[in-house]
Amino acid sequence: KDVQKEREPHVYLTKEEVKEKIQSYNSSVTDKLKMTLNANGIYTGFIKVQMELCRPITVQSSQSQGRCAPSNKETAFYLPDGCVNTLHISSTNTVREVIEALLKKFFVADNPAKFALYKRCHKEDQVYTCKLSDREHPLYLRLVAGPKTEMLSFVLREHETGEVMWEAFSIPELQNFLRILDKEENDQLQILKNRYAAYRGKLEEALRGVLKPG
């Protein structure tokens, strides 16, 4: 169930409270992804983000990442369902910075403005998905909720604005979308042709049986 973001007040914890919560968090961790409190009061840790993208993403070629001149070669493809990525972040990192880091980690060339980060949590035997504002801090939410993803998990989706933000896409991306749509249209057309060809064959076979001289 998707709901509007509830404006939950950010509780500012003292350094001692943060230390206690981190100790409690680390004692419950089962995957070794623990949090670390630094002397300046900033803490670091890991979050897992599930990718739930309906549209294809554009990925830069590995050649354009080296020291040589960029090749400007990009590839668009659909990300497999259920893909989960792990990020190491700090308590100062915002939602917007997490999205940018996640895209940069996997050489995604798409505009970060196309994406939004959501939190998914359980309340009263129901699952709620709420969009996070750009200035929220995911690691703080992870610390408060504890390490269990059943209590809280993060999901990356396309921005839900009611309409697709076509102006945020580049010309190569739009051309790739057209090619994908053409392929899907041709595939569906071929399925229909095969279906009606099979019907026609059965009808012709039935007619031959009826018209066959007795």
pLDDT tens digits, residue range 63-106?
A: 445 444 444 567 777 777 778 999 999 999 999 999 999 888 87
Look at residue 61 in the predicted model and tell me its pLDDT.
65
Third-level CATH fold of 15-60+70-161: Ubiquitin-like (UB roll) (3.10.20)
Tell me the pLDDT tens digit for each residue of 191-203: 889 988 988 888 8
Distance separating alpha carbons of residues 88 and 198, to the nearest angstrom? 55
Look at residue 11 in the predicted model and tell me its pLDDT.
66
Candidate from 8-17, 35-44, 69-78 with smallest mean pLDDT: 69-78
Identify the three-state secondary structure at position 208.
helix
Are the C-beta atoms of residues 99 and 47 closer than 8 Å to each other? Answer: no
**Strands (DSSP E) along the chain, which ranges?**
2-3, 36-37, 43-51, 57-60, 74-77, 83-90, 115-123, 126-131, 152-158
pLDDT higher than 70, residue 39: yes
Q: Which pLDDT value is given to residue 153?
A: 93
Sign of the Cα pseudo-torsion (34, 23, 154, 127, in order): positive
- Which residues on adjacent β-strands are paired with residue 90? 44
Position 1 pLDDT exceeds 60: no
| β-pairing verdict for 74-77 and 36-37 | unpaired
Decide: pTM greater than 0.85: no
What are the boundaries of each domain within the chain?
15-60+70-161, 169-211
Nearest to 129 by CA among 102, 148, 152, 110: 152
Cα–Cα distance for residue pair 115/96, rounded to 1 Å: 9
- The predicted structure's pLDDT at residue 62: 56
